[in-house]
Structure 1
């Protein structure tokens, strides 16, 4: 299973914490030669892990943290962003839906977002193709300690236990002025510098996808502003010169999905997360009022959730733009990514 996450931040907001430590990016239990150049010897790390009948010990999560047994579905409103941008009635309807969702759990799905389905498909296929590459090739983009960009396998460079069953590729995208859009090459430059000129086309796909996500996220910010009575331009202007982190997540089939997680319980530290899911696996689960509920993937729709830096405590004047533990108005909740069997 592959999905794509776009994390939006304003440049004035808190940066992502640097939590990396200088350790080997591989698990001791995985017999892989990271310096190998032959495609047969540079086997995919997770291919080796899933060849075993039992998952390695570092991937085992305690029973209390393992896959939830609940099969409840989260009631997520579907918000038509296109209608919101083109009519007062559409905006009123969208703002009401978003206000209710964000006061409850912070999740909603959007249609009319303007992202070309062919581009979305190309971005998902590009991620799948990347994760099928030999390990030695992927290691060309290996994430360095103290950074958020690059390839990582199960976060084994950061933790020794309760590892997530996934691979990731992350890269940043800075929002440009409208007039400069289409001339930016920051994502393309990342791919060619980290992986070589053969990956220029993939970089171009993600450059275009990141720009489309930028437009979608700013449109969503207009609705969020209206939902709080602040007007369409308040948050759009605030985040217009911000930046985002694009993350491709790959969750391979797992021999023991009940004993591990694709992503452990967490809250997103960003202002806004936009998720493009691939396939029909109900992997995303959200903790609401003490119960885990899954978010059903829907073709053509994006899953949106507000993060820590967008939580609003009160509204005596203007919203608080930093994390606060009081969920009086808008809240975010913990999520996990569950896995599927062979």
Structure 2
């Protein structure tokens, strides 16, 4: 039947989102009040230039204040801002080659034959490396239109050998990304606590000792996007979420009117939640 033929750019698999179906199965359909809007409003996201933090004097103080204002106005870790310069030169300190390598490795994994990916499939949320197809597989009454790969990444030398062996450069490219993201997270937390008047080292030891998890989300083409959600409304449980995306889709909640608005995609930018 037509529903069994692949219309997706991803390898046909056993998970519905990867089968290239021409319809949305019933278990993926959200109720009418929760239907996503295809004419989405965008939100204004504060722009933070990390390079200015490395300057002395008043310039650094201005950025510290801007970060504090962003969190006080919009909520602490439940909204995002982008690390870019007004000139669009990304200044979070991570070179574009590392970001592109991580994205290419992620795409390479999702393009693997189904049998290789399914070796990592698990509903155990505590498993160090797992591949799955919804928010909470086997628990959610409504399934969500995504597939994901999730794995622990710090300490890197403890976990990297458990990561996928394929594609061949996955461990190297994602390992480089993981290392640089952790450096950024440690720096960001110092700036955040400083902006709140708590001092740069208020959370430093906890951050140094904390865990790091990488989640790679993939949202294959949906045949009826008005009926399904990629992910439900939620807030992350981590201290910091640093997000790299290569297509628009992230929405953040507005605490003033309780509406969800689309975050504009900016190439090479990292979003902090």
TM-score for both structures, normalised by structure 1: 0.68
Output the aligned Cα RMSD: 2.4
1:189 maps onto 2:161 in alignment: yes
Shift of 1:158: 2.5
**Aligned twin of 2:115:** 136
Shift of 1:41: 8.1
Contact 2:190 2:202 in 1 (8 A): yes
1:244 maps onto 2:228 in alignment: no
1:104 maps onto 2:73 in alignment: yes
Contact 1:45 1:135 in 2 (8 A): no
Query: CA, structure 1 residues 173+160, in 2 after alignment: closer, same or farther (shift >3 Å)?
Result: closer
Contact 2:99 2:177 in 1 (8 A): yes
User: What is the distance in 2 between the residues matched to 1:205 and 1:41?
Assistant: 25
User: Where does structure 2 lack aligned partners over 5 or more consecutive residues?
Assistant: 5-10, 85-90
**Aligned twin of 1:303:** 271
Shift of 1:95: 1.8
**Aligned twin of 1:59:** 28
Contact 1:185 1:207 in 2 (8 A): no
Q: Secondary structure of 2:169's match?
A: helix
Count of aligned pairs: 252
**Aligned twin of 2:147:** 167
User: Where does structure 1 lack aligned partners over 5 or more consecutive residues?
Assistant: 1-29, 32-39, 176-183, 306-342
**Aligned twin of 1:75:** 44
User: What is the distance in 2 between the residues matched to 1:303 and 1:186?
Assistant: 27
TM-score for both structures, normalised by structure 2: 0.83
**Aligned twin of 1:124:** 103
Q: Which residue of 83, 88, 93 maps to 1:114?
A: 93
User: What is the distance in 2 between the residues matched to 1:124 and 1:186?
Assistant: 23
1:291 maps onto 2:259 in alignment: yes
Deviations 1:270-294 (A, max 9, x none): 1110000103x2x111121222211
Q: Secondary structure of 2:243's match?
A: strand
Shift of 1:139: 1.2
Q: Which residue of 188, 195, 220 maps to 2:188?
A: 220
Shift of 1:56: 0.1
Contact 1:79 1:98 in 2 (8 A): yes
Q: Secondary structure of 1:245's match?
A: strand
**Aligned twin of 1:329:** none
Shift of 1:143: 2.6
**Aligned twin of 1:153:** 133
